[in-house]
Amino acid sequence: MELGKQAGSTAGTFGKLLSAELKLASGDLGRLIAVGLALLSLGSIAWLGLSVLLSWLAFQQLESVTLALLVFLGIQALVILLLVKAANTFKRSLSLPATKRNFRALVNSASSSKTDAGQLKERTDGTQTTSA
């Protein structure tokens, strides 16, 4: 009886802690979103600056505006291709391949154990024996 009271008290204290921590976390959520948007904006500007710098260097070396613009577009296209490849990799992992493999193995194991149990029952009954 005393153990039940202590478990209930512990669960209540844990619930209060969880509630307080969720309130703190929800207050920080808005600030986290603001920081994320600022980082996204600054990262985009930095990426654009780097791309323009590399294109300018290409213009200085090649003295051709067309080739400099192609360098700029090439940088963007290369990064887009890399991001598409990464997205496809992440998409495959979202299909939970390891879980599917383990589930199939579990199902196969369960079906083989049923077969083994059936063979064992047949052997103990003496009605039929199977050879492996």
Q: How confident is the model at residue 62 (pLDDT cuts 50, 70, 90)?
A: very high
Report pLDDT for 128.
Answer: 54
Determine what percent of the chain is predicted with pLDDT higher than 70. Answer: 85
| pTM of the predicted structure, to 2 decimals | 0.54
Q: Return d(Cα 23, Cα 109) in angstroms, integer.
A: 46
Long-range CB contacts for residues 48-52, cutoff 8 Å, separation at least 24: 51/75, 51/76
Q: Return d(Cα 96, Cα 30) in angstroms, integer.
A: 31
pLDDT in tens, 72-106: 999 999 999 999 999 998 888 777 778 888 888 88
Please state the length of the chain. Answer: 132
What Cα–Cα distance (Å) separates residue 116 from each residue in 60, 80, 98, 105, 125? 77, 54, 26, 16, 14
H-run or E-run covering 88: helix 65-94
Q: How confident is the model at residue 107 (pLDDT cuts 50, 70, 90)?
A: confident
Q: How confident is the model at residue 71 (pLDDT cuts 50, 70, 90)?
A: very high
Q: How confident is the model at residue 65 (pLDDT cuts 50, 70, 90)?
A: very high
